[in-house]
Amino acid sequence: MQGVLITIASAVILAIVAAFAAPFVVDWTAWRGAFESQASRTLGVPVVIRGHIYADILPTPRIILRNVSIGADAVSTGAVADEVRADLSLGALVRGSVEAKSLTLVRPRMRVVLDSAGRVALPTGAAAPGGLSISSLAIEGGTLDVLDRGADRSLAFTGLDLKGEARTLTGPFRLEGEVALAGRHYGTRLSLGAFGADGSRMRLIAEERARPLTIDLDGTLRLEGGAPRFEGRGSLIRRPDGVPGGPPPANVGAQPGSTPPGSGQEAWHESWRLSGALRAGPEAVVAETLDLSLADTARPVQLAGSARLALGRTPSLEVVLNARALDADVLRTPAGAAPQSAAESLAALMAAFDALPAPDVPARIGVAVEQLTYAGTVLRDARLDLSGADGGWRIDAAEAKLPGPSALRLSGAPGRAGGAGFTGDLAFSSEDPAAFLRWVAPRGTADVAAAVSGPVKLVGRITAGAGRYGVQDLDASFGAATVSGSGQFTDGDRPRLDLSLAVDGLDLDPLLEALHQGLALAGGAVDGGLALEGRHLKAGGLPLGALSLAAEGAGGTWTLSRLTLDNLAGLHLEGKGSLTRLAAPLQGRLDFSMAGAKADGLVPLARLVSGERAGEIMTRLLPVAAPVNIAGSASWGDGGAGAVRLDGTLGLLSGHAAFAPGAAGGVPRVDLTLSASDGARALEAAGLTGLRPGLGAGQLNLTLVPSGTDGADLDGRLALADTVASAKGSVKVAAGGVLQPRLAMRLDGADVAKLFLAAAPAAEGGPVPAALGFTVSRSGGAWQLEDLKGLLGGAPLSGALAIEGG
């Protein structure tokens, strides 16, 4: 008996030793056929092992297979793995079943093939699989190609690093890890239930690593006639940067006043959710009920609609979204930010549109809102139609009814190649353009808004963004006035403004005001080109028959090669010159000539060149200032004050006049050498009343030279009707503009009585000659004539005289 026991023990020991020693003495590759046969029965598809085979029996059965092909050919569904490692359950093998404690596929190249009908092309020789349970499944460095023969398209999933389990080959499955598609990496979680008659329950969550985008699919996956189909719910979620899907992280290291991710204060395009009920198959993905939620706030903007993604040979996406009422002000600015005008928020929306990535397939998206709240105002019948392709997105049509009432229609696309944010066609109309301007730019120039009269119609091709704003093929009407042409402003270290316009029936004052505001924003340091042609215009409230202007600006200097004003209330002007600064204060020089039967046009020109005071003086001279024939120049120095020189005739007046600004806004320099064919009328127009008509010609010579900051030296001579008055001394300007002269004067004439209407009784007694000298000053409200000495009417006269008022 003892011998029998020793024999049995020895046999067991030898068996165990043999099992441990087997890897060293057994060439498992010689058993290739057996391994292939067993693997094929277990998987239900042909398996070919082209590489080495390694195996352990104890303590745990382990096999390593190299260069393994699953599937008999490369044209149907299958896989090739560089290496397959498996740890098997010894007990399960003893019972005749296969259970893998762990199974690792190293660098597998898997493929799923769909035939022309969208069915999964099973491997040649496929049969029902045997029982295989995998407690721990791993895929390292794998790829998966989905080949759609019907669509002649493929999807290449790369970088598969997944871990999970498979209870049987027909499910349930669970995998989690990393996947890359089209260069974008995703963290992926997939769970798939056991396949039955009604399919398999599926949940897929994929989070893009580079962008905070999450795809979530939850539904049923089934095979209908071999074609895979999914039905359930799906969502595409964009969370704020730094919030990958869980609760918002702490705002570590944030600057004071910054916006933490996930705070609900992000821009609208940084947080949104698209979800709906999905039906997917080889031919299309359809969402019949689709919900879009924008902005991660307590009041998200929501739209509803449908979508269809066509697959096949010509994939495309179509989306339709609608809302009866939508508050877009929620999207305009984050909470706590300064409110934006309609124009500012529109620019922000265009920038967000420009930043949209190009779609992977041709796409068309339509959005319609019956009542859209925007910038605090309800806009009606708003609609946006977008189309996208490889080159990016395009606005096919954007239209709405705006305040005014006004209507807007816009179409175009981002101009990435040209550096502009948007290029497209604009059509705009408004019955009350002033009301529209007050809404779209409330902080803009009120004078411009008030001056623009309607109705307005405008069409043109616009460019906007990246410091470049322009309009081409402009065709606009403002009431009965029309404007056509083009314009462009380019910002930068040296801004550039180019305008080429033809106008008819337009009031130029609002246009000049808008141009003034634009130049002020640019600081007057701007280059460019101006070409303006006009007919039937108005300027300064006066009719202007025609206008022609051409100018070029380079290096900070503008050369005015042509300026023609024809029939400005009967006045014709020709001019040219150069300007080194366009905005106030002006700098430069303008040479001009004026001629015409009427002088009314001189008033707005005087205001434009020398200010409001010059316009008032010219208004008083109008009765004696026509006809006009003058050559002159205007120049502006560092302070912007205008100096004017004039030679020629203004009606009764002829001669030379020059005006130059004084220091710090003080008394200007004046040089006058004037003759008047009717001196009394000319002096009366200048403000000296009470003169007798018909006194004949007169002449004035006057020099006023600034002295100090509030005074000037005066030297003047006036000759009229054989009488000469001369003055020399100083003039100061007191507070309130009151003149305080100190002049030595002399009056010499054969008959001074005939000069004044009030002296008519004295004139009846004969001539009243005068030869007087005196000084003139002003104290308080009284004029003082002192040191009066000489002859008046042949009689000696001396003393002083005070005249109150005046």
- What DSSP element (H or E) covers 109? strand 98-114
Distance from C-alpha of 331 to C-alpha of 327, rounded to nearest angstrom: 8
Q: What is the 3-state secondary structure (H, E, C) of 3-58?
A: HHHHHHHHHHHHHHHHHHHHHHHCCHHHHHHHHHHHHHHHHCCCEEECCCEEEECC
The pLDDT value recorded for residue 794 is: 85
Percent of the chain scored above 90 by pLDDT? 43
The pLDDT value recorded for residue 15 is: 39
Distance from C-alpha of 384 to C-alpha of 368, rounded to nearest angstrom: 6
Average pLDDT over residues 598-604: 87
The pLDDT value recorded for residue 297 is: 61
Q: Residue 184: is its pLDDT beyond 60? A: yes
> Which position has the higher pLDDT, 655 or 451?
655
User: Of the segments 71-75, 293-297, 347-351, 654-658, which one has the largest average pLDDT value?
Assistant: 654-658
Contact call for residues 118 and 281 (beta carbons, < 8 A): yes
The pLDDT value recorded for residue 290 is: 93
Distance from C-alpha of 376 to C-alpha of 511, rounded to nearest angstrom: 29
Distance from C-alpha of 718 to C-alpha of 686, rounded to nearest angstrom: 13
Q: Residue 779: is its pLDDT beyond 70? A: yes
What is the three-class DSSP state of 507?
strand
The pLDDT value recorded for residue 806 is: 56
Contact call for residues 316 and 362 (beta carbons, < 8 A): yes
pLDDT, tens only, 136-160: 999 999 999 999 988 888 899 999 9
- Count of beta carbons in the 10 Å neighbourhood of residue 184: 13
Contact call for residues 353 and 400 (beta carbons, < 8 A): no
The pLDDT value recorded for residue 340 is: 63
Distance from C-alpha of 758 to C-alpha of 768, rounded to nearest angstrom: 14
Q: Residue 167: is its pLDDT beyond 50? A: yes
Q: Residue 214: is its pLDDT beyond 90? A: yes
What is the three-class DSSP state of 684?
helix
Q: Residue 489: is its pLDDT beyond 90? A: no
- Count of beta carbons in the 10 Å neighbourhood of residue 597: 11
> Which position has the higher pLDDT, 598 or 806?
598
Q: Residue 348: is its pLDDT beyond 80? A: no
Percent of the chain scored above 70 by pLDDT? 83
The pLDDT value recorded for residue 248 is: 41
pLDDT, tens only, 224-252: 888 999 999 999 999 876 555 444 443 43
Sole residue written with tokens 């411009």: 448
- Count of beta carbons in the 10 Å neighbourhood of residue 139: 23
Task: Provide the pLDDT confidence category of residue 71 given band limits of 50, 70 and 90.
Answer: confident
Sequence-separated contacts (24+) of 240-243 with Cβ below 8 Å: 240/212, 240/266, 240/270, 240/271, 240/296, 241/212, 241/270, 242/212, 243/212
User: Of the segments 16-20, 319-323, 496-500, which one has the largest average pLDDT value?
Assistant: 319-323
- What DSSP element (H or E) covers 276? strand 272-280
pLDDT, tens only, 374-404: 878 899 999 999 999 988 889 999 999 998 8
User: Of the segments 120-124, 298-302, 383-387, which one has the largest average pLDDT value?
Assistant: 383-387
The pLDDT value recorded for residue 262 is: 46
What mean pLDDT is reported for the chain?
Answer: 83
The pLDDT value recorded for residue 418 is: 44
The pLDDT value recorded for residue 467 is: 74
DSSP conformation letters of 714-771:
EEEEEEETTEEEEEEEEEEE-GGG-EEEEEEEEEEES-SGGGBGGGHHHHHTS---EE
Name the token pair of 185: 């990496």
Q: Residue 518: is its pLDDT beyond 90? A: no
The pLDDT value recorded for residue 530 is: 92
Distances (CA, A) of 67 to 42, 82, 341: 18, 5, 67
Task: Provide the pLDDT confidence category of residue 301 given band limits of 50, 70 and 90.
Answer: confident
The pLDDT value recorded for residue 327 is: 85
> Which position has the higher pLDDT, 90 or 148?
148
The pLDDT value recorded for residue 296 is: 63
Q: Residue 7: is its pLDDT beyond 50? A: no
The pLDDT value recorded for residue 338 is: 59
